[in-house]
Structure 1
């Protein structure tokens, strides 16, 4: 079957601002910036990117889909992301979990995991 994940789409109020935040988080770059769409990725031929699209709706509940980020050093990465404008959020995760829940400047939750070696195994 010839099918591949192309973009992860995030609804936003400030498309360029949120795109710049995620570029700093992921060390990606803006690949295309138009009034109603901003695309970021490592380069134009990357296997997947993030596309920011306008939405008039405000965020009111926990995301049903979120990104999990796997750094080499969880504590240092959380501090770096907080410095970029992320904030800590409580979505009911409890204190004994192996991840930290943060939100981007528009309130979209994402997790910073402990370092990982595979998609299915804990390190």
Structure 2
């Protein structure tokens, strides 16, 4: 295949603050930073990364794309992320086995149940 997935772009009002939050949440490292851009990766030489790029306007609608994460312990991970500054989000999901959270700028993401063993 001729394509390699390099990164996901996230629009942010404060790229460094949001990128730093996600780096801490995921245990990733910053690999690039300017006043308008902040990129993190799991390891400096490993892709894909997440690149936070400055935009001036606030997001007005729910995200059309979001990330899902599968932790070892859903309850512990939700508690940890809430302590870091995430908040619970209602996107109309109803009664489901995953938890929808939002990062400090309101970008939704899901914390799934642990994988069955």
TM-score (norm 1): 0.91
Matched, 1:31 2:31: yes
Which runs of 5 or more structure 2 residues have no equivalent in the other structure?
Answer: none
Aligned: 1:69 with 2:69: yes
3-state secondary structure, aligned to 1:78: helix
Distance 1:103 1:38 in 2: 19
33-42 or 101-110: bigger deviation: 33-42
Supply the RMSD in Å over aligned alpha carbons.
Answer: 0.9
Per-residue CA distance 1:71-118 (angstroms, 9 max, x = gap): 0000000000000000001110012x11100000000000000113xx
Runs of 4+ aligned structure 1 residues displaced above 6 Å come to: none
Counterpart CA distance in 2 for 1:9 and 1:76 is 28
Alignment correspondent of 1:94 = 94
Distance in 2 (alpha carbons) for counterparts of 1:44 and 1:73: 27
Q: CA deviation at 1:2?
A: 1.7
Alignment-derived partner of residue 42 in structure 2: 42
Find the counterpart in structure 2 of residue 119 from structure 1: none
8 A Cα contact 2:29 2:44, kept in partner: no
DSSP-derived class of the 2:80 partner: helix
Unaligned stretches of 5+ residues in structure 1? 117-122
**1:12 and 2:12 matched:** yes
TM-score by length of 2: 0.95
Shift of 1:47: 2.1
